[in-house]
Structure 1
Amino acid sequence: MNRRESLKLLGASAGLMAAPALARTSKPQVMTQAGPVIGQAKGGVDIFLGLRYGQDTTKTRFRPPVKPEPWTKPYIADHYGAAAPQAGTPDPYGQSEDCLFLNVWTPQASARKRRPVMVYIHGGAYNTGSGGSPLYDATNLALRGDVVVVTINHRLNAFGYLYLARLEHEVTGAPGPLAFSGNCGQLDIHLALEWVRDNIAAFGGDPGCVMVFGQSGGGAKIATMMATPAARGLFHRAATMSGQQVTASGPGNATQRTIAFLAALDLKPDAEGLAQVQALPMADLVAALKANDPVIGKGGLYFGPVLDETTLSRHPFWPDAPSQSADIPMMIGNTHDETRAFLSGDPHNFDLTWEELPVKLPPQYRIDIDPYVVIDTYRRLYPQMSPSDVFFVATTAGRSWRGAIEELEARAKSGAVTYAYQVDWKTPKDAGRLGAPHTIDIPLVFRTTAVADSITTDSAEARRMADLFSDAFIAFARSGSPQTAILPDWKPYSMEKRETMLMDLPPQLANDPRGEERKLFAKVPFIQQGT
């Protein structure tokens, strides 16, 4: 079969996968290990929303999650569960410490077939988000690839990552029940993956073929799991989308943040303060998140994985790639214009002058390098760029892309199979001024370009990009390689060539794209902000 014939076959098969399935009117019922659940047949798939994988964490605040108590009466899984407590992001299903819920989309809830499983970890920088966003509706993705898709909620911010272990040790003289507090959010994810391992076969999924994928903070959570012993064996492929965790928070910095958080609650770092923070109302803790971060120097407080020597005993990707996950195929992606999503809110950023640039750049590219050297280098490499163009590309290279390079290099040096991609396709939204920004790959993978707030719009080109992206992720979930017939030969990333798939129309495999930019920022040591 030649390439033209294979492309025709791909188009035909894609059409079959995308075709609407026969409507099913009966409500699917599945027996989980904890009890029976009843979902809904909708859009050609069986959907189960708000499945409990852990008990109410109000009872285990700052402690590891606990499996749910069994039930006998069928649970009606027809709505999302509450999101984790967080600031500034109202959720239609509310916020609660009782937030350990997950959602399942499957072409058919039956153990007669074993499909690849794709578990999505939401973003939000460990502080916000939930698995119930309309952008994560997995109906189209499940149909396109004949896969089972899972999204989850878990504890965030202080509820998931407030490091109380050192203070507890100082107060009591020994480790205690709060020893795991700095990584409870990660432990929640582990418990959700254990639920997948133990239950997904009944929904038509293959527990031996589980892919985790996540964007931004979701990717960072996955990178952390790659180095966490307790996560070993819970997944078999990993894909991170603009989300890296090269270094974790050190216990000293994490303790400084804990003291600042307690102070915002008018509590002291003593036995009484430790007791009270475990009992205060949820809303009080959410309000205290706005306190200035004593390490970064501004608000609000950063919370993320902690090098606590209990759950996490090494940095995720420093000084090298974790050996425990060397056999797990990985895909690491970024977007060409990441920071246009973060920094476009200030209209003046699109109208900067060369004189303003040296002051504007350093706080945003987040590493210590001479801005005049950066500006001169970009003007030499890209003489057509405006000051605003340089502002966005340099901050993307230093702040966002750099972590991806660190992880890709670490994996390549260890010989681990890793595929790199860069989104070059530019959204037509806002007359194209956003380029290819942070989050653009979410609706492309989930095939949710028609959702009202999708950054991609639902143009014909966006739908073609969704075909390109979702098929690559489906292929990766199924085989450990993102290769599809429509893509050029996608070789794993190597130190010699730095192979990277440029996701665009048409896609192209490039060697060391933006290599001069990479070399410019590589001269400065990289430590992830907040850690």
Structure 2
Amino acid sequence: MSVIDTACGPVRGTVEGGIAAFRGIPYAAAPVGPLRFAPPAPVPPWDGVLETAAFGPTAPKNPYPPPLDALLPDPEIPGDACLNLNVWTATPGEGARPVMVWIHGGALRGGSSAVGSYDGRAFARDGVVLVSLNYRLGIEGFGVFPDAPANLGLRDQIAALAWVRANIRAFGGDPDNVTVFGESAGALSIAALLASPRAKGLFRRAILQSGAPTAVTRTEAARTTTAIARHLRVPATARDFARVDRAQLLAAQRAATAGGTPLTGGRGFHLVVDGDILPQAPAAALAQGSSDGIDVLLGGNTDEYRLWFVPGGLVDRIGNAALWAAVLKGRAPWRAPGVYRAARPGASPGEILGAMVTDKVLRVPLNRLADARADRPGRTFVYEFAWPSPQHDLRACHALEIGFVFDNLGTPDSLLLTGPAAPRSLAEAMHRAWVAFASGGDPGWPRWNTERPVMTYGADGARVVHAPRERERRLWS
């Protein structure tokens, strides 16, 4: 295996099926000691050749709670140097191929780049240099303190993109043709990157999978930090939190955020409008043109809610009374349950509520973003993943599309959600569209316009559907 020179020193990876893989390359210094609640710092140069055969340490985190832990594997690799990334490339040092940078999801408190379904060999096989990265999570990445910067995890992502800009040519990538893509909290992060002046010039295209442009005020986000401080019985400052043993800190974080999910709410972690990395809310910044000139592909899954509602039986515990209570509490349109039920004969109250929540939290904000960009510089394309998984009655749930995008349906991680009979042809079509978009900005269907074309990946293959479920979407206008 040849050695690649980076700005901080040479690295040596491995060759797997004709693809060169470099895992665990540090892009910033280990966030420990005085750097624990500080912005990412430069990596000290190393002596000799850095061996990159294995994934690097993952960011400190708690495992997913049951029953999600049985569906979403989340490897934990010990070590302090968690600000690392991985590169897959077919011919390092040759050519200038499109680059795709994957930002993982996990509600800003879980996940890592070491998940098996994120393996980048299929992208490298098809002419892309694939990069995936780790960033700080939970209280260490998204805590809000009076004596430390906010959005440290987002700052980490920007530092990783700066590393790509400076080093990717040595791996055969084109630093002027970078596409960022991510799912769930990864897509949420990408919306913030599109809005952040600090990320300008670091990427050319963006793909948002099942994550909308949202951020909150410092006051709102600080409530989670304050709750964790109460569990620890220390002041809610970075200085005091840095003195706490990491295991104790994670235990307090788990207790303070128990029960919250991205769809059902509860205490969790958020991106913050901080006047620096995020001068204003991403949705407002994007509507005003912060992403002008950048091509964007965005969308979600038909049954996002089922990942949280079905495995633990919540969908069956929701009756009509709970449905209407949620309508009142969430200030949903009064007509909404009837409109959603008309399109879903036989659906339970829990399924009706789940479909409404999916639209309110994900589909409708993404449609609004597409509408806001329709007449601005930069093309916009919309997709929907609709293939119904037979596993655990999950159908087209949150995160199901990832194995299709990466063309990794055979990995154990993907099989947990898809089962063994997922259509390979659909994975080939979806993966091919992502590669085409990263290569030239056109995934192969009409850009967003007044007819609302949505490429739908479903049981009958891939086809364009115009304005799907428009009556339901209009309820939220």
Verify: 1:510 aligned to 2:465, yes or no: yes
Offset, 1:400: 2.8
- Which residue is equivalent to 1:107? 90
2:233 matches 1:266:
yes
Match of 1:35 in 2: 9
- Residue from 39, 56, 81 that aligns with 1:81: 56
Question: What corresponds to 2:341 in structure 1?
Answer: 379
Distance 1:434 1:275, change over 3 A: closer
C-alpha contact (below 8 Å) 2:323/2:349 kept by paired residues: no
Q: 1:262 Cα deviation (Å)? A: 1.9
**Are 2:362 and 1:400 aligned?**
yes
Q: Decide which of 426, 447, 457 is 2:388's aligned counterpart.
A: 426
Given the alignment of the two structures, is residue 202 of structure 1 paired with residue 157 of structure 2, yes or no?
A: no
In structure 2, relative to structure 1, the CA distance for the partners of 1:319 and 1:32 (3 Å cut) is closer
Identify the residue that residue 219 of structure 1 maps to in structure 2.
187
- How does the TM-score come out when normalised to structure 1? 0.82
TM-superposed deviation, 1:387 = 4.1
Deviations 1:64-84 (A, max 9, x none): 101211123101101001111
Kindly provide the amino acid, as one letter, of the partner of residue 330 in structure 2.
I
Whether the aligned pair in 2 keeps the contact of 1:290 and 1:301 (CA below 8 Å) is no
C-alpha RMSD of the superposition: 2.5
CA distance in 1, matches of 2:355, 2:129: 37
Deviation per CA, 1:11-49, whole angstroms, max 9, x where unpaired?
Answer: xxxxxxxxxxxxxxxx23101111011100112200111
Q: Is the 8 A contact 2:298 2:366 kept in 1?
A: yes
- Aligned CA distance change for structure 1 residues 361 and 420 (closer, same or farther; 3 Å): farther
Match for residue 122 of structure 1 among 97, 100, 104: 104
Unaligned residue ranges in structure 2 (runs of 5+): 65-72
Q: Deviations over 1:93-147 (max 9, x none)?
A: 524443001011101212x21111111000001110000100101112221x211
Counterpart position of 2:28: 54
Shift of 1:161: 1.2
1:446 aligns with 2:428: no
Conservation of the 8 A alpha-carbon contact between 1:120 and 1:151: yes
List aligned pairs for 1:174-323, cutoff 5 A. Answer: 178=148, 180=149, 182-245=150-213, 247-269=214-236, 273-292=237-256, 301-318=267-284, 320-323=286-289
Q: In 1, distance between residues paired with 2:106 and 2:447?
A: 28
> Aligned equivalents of 2:469 and 2:164: distance in 1?
39
Cα displacement (A) at 1:450: 0.4
Secondary structure of 1:324 counterpart: coil
Unaligned runs of at least 5 residues, structure 1? 1-26, 169-177, 484-489, 523-531
Count of residues paired in the alignment: 462
The CA distance in 2 between the partners of 1:391 and 1:299, in whole Å, is 14
Identity over the aligned pairs, expressed in percent?
32
User: Residue 98 of structure 2 contacts residue 178 of structure 2 at CA under 8 Å; is this kept in 1?
Assistant: yes
Contact 1:39–1:78 (CA<8 Å) still a contact in 2?
A: yes
Note the alpha carbon deviations across 1:220-260, whole angstroms, 9 max, x for none. Answer: 00000000000011111000110112x31202212333322
* Deviation of 1:290 (Å): 2.9
Q: Determine the structure 2 residue equivalent to 1:154.
A: 135
Helix, strand or coil for the counterpart of 1:332? strand
Q: 1:275 to 1:117 in 2, by over 3 A?
A: same
1:51 and 1:103 in contact (8 A); partners too: yes
1:347 Cα deviation after fit: 3.4
Amino acid at match of 1:369: A
CA deviation profile, 1:283-316 (whole Å, cap 9, x unmatched):
122122135469x899974222111112211111
Q: Distance in 1 between the 2:299 and 2:447 partners? A: 13
Look up the match of 1:330. Answer: 296
What is the match of residue 67 of structure 2?
A: none
Structure 2 Cα separation of the partners of residues 413 and 293 of structure 1: 40
In the alignment, residue 56 of structure 2 is paired with which amino acid?
G
Runs (4+) off by over 6 Å = 296-300
Aligned partners of 1:362 and 1:210: how far apart in 2? 45
Q: Comparing 251-260 with 508-517, which one deviates more in the overlay?
A: 251-260
Q: Which residue of 2 aligns with 1:501?
A: 455
Name the counterpart of 2:330. Answer: 367
Are the counterparts in 1 of residues 303 and 396 from structure 2 also a CA contact under 8 Å? Answer: yes
User: In structure 2, what residue type is equivalent to 1:423?
Assistant: F
TM-score (norm 2): 0.90
Alpha-carbon distance, 1:274 to partner: 4.5
Q: Kindly tell me: are residues 427 and 28 of structure 1, through their superposed partners in 2, closer, same or farther at Cα, counting changes over 3 Å?
A: farther
Partner of 1:20: none
CA distance in 2 between counterparts of 1:132 and 1:68 reads 21
The answer as to whether partners of 1:86 and 1:95 remain within 8 angstroms in 2 is no
Candidates 439, 454, 460, aligned match of 1:478: 439
How far apart, in 2, do the equivalents of 1:325 and 1:316 lie? Answer: 10
Report SS of the residue matched to 2:287. Answer: coil
Q: CA deviation at 1:467?
A: 0.3
